[in-house]
Amino acid sequence: MQAIASERGVVVCDFSDRANLPTELGAGDDSAAGALHLRQLEDELRAYFAGKLRAFTVAIDPRVSDFQRRAWAYLRAIPFGETRSYAQQAAAIGSVARAVGRANGGNFVAIVIPCHRVIGSTGSLTGYGGGIERKKWLLRHEEVPDDRLFR
């Protein structure tokens, strides 16, 4: 994973092999506060992967549009181990599924902003910047029942 933080929070936390990871978003800083956010991120990711953390509290500093902020706030409210469809997300924020799909696709704070919890209306694992296999692994890690997915 690649992570960058500013004094306000995590700017980027994404899979380093992601093809379109934008380096221009990575305008972090060398501040002590930025380093503290990175340490907290590392601690929380370790706890998440160990099965001991269900909700991230590390501050984030996404440099995105107001629409993306609304879309991502919805993502952060999806509980661990649950999924929502793009249509549900769109309806909740007053948009359309294609627009929220684009907003979610621009999420470069992977796992912390859990866009892996959004699936197609039929349960299909459509789209994920980190790859469908990672999305599948993350949902299984969160114990999402297979009968609700992968149709």
Could you tell me the residue ranges of all domains in the chain? 2-49, 66-148
**pLDDT tens, residue by residue, 14-55:** 886 755 555 554 455 567 888 999 999 999 999 999 999 999
115 counts as catalytic: yes
For the entire predicted model, the pTM comes to 0.88
**pLDDT tens, residue by residue, 49-86:** 999 999 999 999 988 999 999 999 999 999 999 999 99
Of 79-83, 95-99, 128-132, least confident by mean pLDDT is: 128-132
Q: Which of 11, 109, 115, 139 is catalytic?
A: 115
**CA–CA dist 10, 47 (Å, integer):** 17
**CA–CA dist 19, 1 (Å, integer):** 13
For the domain 66-148, what is the CATH code?
1.10.10.10
